[in-house]
Amino acid sequence: MDIFEFLKGDKFALFSGVELLEVRKGYAKARMEIQPMHLNGGGVCQGGAIFTLADLAFAAAVNSHALLTLSIQTNINFFQAESRGYLYAEAIEVLDKKRLSACEVKVTNEKGDLVATISGTGYRKNVELPFEAIK
């Protein structure tokens, strides 16, 4: 098993259409094509859908060390509405300690315009994951 297979266990992200594209140590990139099911009453991508995309990238980046790391705090800022096309989330772990991890995620559209940013803190449990840590 690798981290890609492990994160297929995130059924909500999977059924939401989020696709994990790349994972390196402390880094991940994911994408989601905006579908009609992602739109809110105003006809733009619902904030929860954007958060789900960013959350999977966050999870991949902070769990790349093969120790179970769960989000304990997250802040999201929305800057631009989108109603079609792909959204991309790039997560970079900015703090990697024994028990704490901090991660910054940028969500962009296909042109590279900033749609949202997410800052999150993860708590690293003493639980090894069923794949090798990414070096």
Q: pLDDT tens-digit profile of 38-68?
A: 999 999 999 999 999 999 999 999 999 999 9
Q: pLDDT tens-digit profile of 17-44?
A: 999 999 999 999 999 999 999 999 999 9
CATH architecture of 3-128: Roll (3.10)
pLDDT of residue 58: 98
Q: pTM here?
A: 0.96
Q: pLDDT tens-digit profile of 69-110?
A: 999 999 999 999 999 999 999 999 999 999 999 999 999 999
For the chain, the straight-line distance linking the first and the last C-alpha, in angstroms and rounded, comes to 16
The domain limits of the chain are 3-128
Helix (H) or strand (E) holding 5: helix 3-7
